[in-house]
Structure 1
Amino acid sequence: MSNLSHGTWVLVADGQKALFLENVTDAEAPNLVIRRVEEQDLPPNREQQSDRPGRMSDPGPGQRSGLAGADWHELDEARFASDMADILYRMAHRGAFGRLVLVAPPKTLGVLRDHLHKEVAQRVVAEIAKDLTNHPGDRLEKVLLTELGAH
């Protein structure tokens, strides 16, 4: 059975946007229909920081070290990937999909994979480590066919 067979769902995500798609045709000529869209509006890091990173005393006479400031984007992107994993779990629990292809940049894919519930992980038939969230539908279908080796 092809990884993109009829009824297979595809999650195309990055750290800020996720498209939940379903293939309503067959693997040879997939037609991905958007079933759900999730977006997170991330303000620039500079707008999320309250002040300069802190400082702490080091053991030793008069020494102080700087503390790294939080990377708010990275934290928000990880939280977003975790939220997508929760949505997938609820959908899987309802029987929305039996097969799932995950498409995300490598870092997001790793975080998403870490948060997937076993019930969802068992349904993952393929992973593609690429950022395809801004591809138009027909282009996305072509890339998926190429990546999944179904010509």
Structure 2
Amino acid sequence: MSGIRLKHKGWVVVADGEKALFLVNSGTPDKPALRVFSGFEQANPKTAVQGEDRPGRLSDGIGGAHRSAVQETDWHRLAKHEFARQIASRLDDSAQAGHFSQIVIVAPALVMGELRKSLSNAVSSRLVAEVAKDLTGHPVPEIEKLLFG
């Protein structure tokens, strides 16, 4: 994963479906020094806690006695998608305000996919690297080491 070069004051966003950390490079591209400057979380309990209804059923046809089950809604997954859209919205606001010129995004594949779809051109044009990993539980020095080697 090393080889990523991030300018001074470039951003790194480390996110999963429940937590996002915003870091800034207070060092140089050759010697990065990440510092957390913001973050936010969203409570996202498992689907079993969020929705306890049984899956619905649909009739298979007119007069037919056969009924098919409808897949239960995965509320936990939907909340992760919504959280990714919130992150993308915050990044867009910051990009429009000129708060960063480069950004690295680190997130698990599911969240990364939703972020990609939701990022504006203002953010995408500043994107230096995408890393499909969950590093939200890692300390900042370890994140630095994993990203910049």
Aligned partner letter, 2:110 = K
Provide the residue aligned with 2:15 in structure 1: 13
- Structure 2 residue aligned with 1:113, among 116, 119, 124? 116
Provide the residue aligned with 1:67 in structure 2: 70
- Greater relative contact order: 1 or 2 (C-alpha under 8 angstroms, separation 6 or more)? 2
Q: CA deviation at 1:103?
A: 0.6
Give the alignment's TM-score, normalised by structure 1: 0.91
Gaps of 5+ in 2: none
SS at match of 2:117: helix
Q: CA deviation at 1:47?
A: 1.6
How many residues align? The count is: 145
8 Å contact 2:5–2:148 — kept in the other structure? Answer: no
Provide the residue aligned with 2:144 in structure 1: 141
Aligned partner letter, 2:20 = A
Provide the residue aligned with 1:54 in structure 2: 56
Whole-angstrom CA distance in 2 between matches of 1:114 and 1:12: 17
SS at match of 1:73: helix
- Structure 2 residue aligned with 1:78, among 81, 85, 89? 81
Give the alignment's TM-score, normalised by structure 2: 0.93
> Is 1:89–2:92 an aligned residue pair?
yes
8 Å contact 1:10–1:20 — kept in the other structure? Answer: yes
